[in-house]
Amino acid sequence: MYRHATYDLWLHDDGELLPFVQSEILERVTLHEWPLSCVQRLTLDDGRKLIYKVQCAPTVEPDFYTRARSGLLVPAQTIFRSSRQACMLLDFVDAPLLRDLNLPDRQVVRIGRQVMEQIAGIEGELACFLDISSEDKWSELVGAMLSDLGELIDRDKFKRVDKLAAHRIEQRAYSQSVLAAIRTRPGLVHGDLNGANLFVLPMGGYRVIDWQHFKLGPPELDLAI
């Protein structure tokens, strides 16, 4: 494996990928990269295309793909895993992303609700990154976050976030509307459902990617994101 030119990520070279892809790699194109992940499209000699994804912890995506059963998911396998990072191969989706279709807002919301219904139907003993399915669990999360935020503010790590901003966050987090949403209908939450992670298939249906931070909590969070 070799180190990414910029980030602390370790990637397989072509020879190391060969036993998994079973065909010569003709092209590797980087689609997305940042300090915590790198995503490449592989074009193979046999005509197939695959997605090669390297991601740092914390993530539940490898376990999620192993356990989950849903038509929303693309076939995937984990080819390397350590305490620090995971490397996966996923089928390439030959379809447009929702963000590229320039649909009216009303239609985008309709699609979002359809996908939420399908997410609710995912089967399996699902790996969960975060559980905020009860008021107590939400309070525990918010309390830890505010504690960390207060410490960073005291250490002058922020330029624009101050104690007043932290107080406003606390008020909103514990507001009756938020607590009511937590109590009302907990369910399955993708956690990053946006137009860059949702493919619209030409013959109907959807595929959703990027399940690193799958949650239990109010499903409406996915529409808010």
- Greatest C-alpha distance within the chain: 59
Residue 17 DSSP symbol: H
What does the pLDDT look like over 19-53, one tens digit per residue?
999 999 999 999 999 999 999 999 999 999 999 99
Question: What are the Cα distances from residue 215, in Å, to 8, 113, 119, 177?
Answer: 26, 17, 11, 20
CATH superfamily, with its number, for domain 2-128+187-224: Transferase(Phosphotransferase) domain 1 (1.10.510.10)
Alpha helices, DSSP H only, in 5-83? Answer: 14-21, 61-67
- 224, with CB counted inside 10 A (0-12, 13-18, 19+), is exposed
Residue type, 35: P
Read off the pLDDT band of 221 (50, 70, 90): confident
What pTM was computed for the model? 0.88
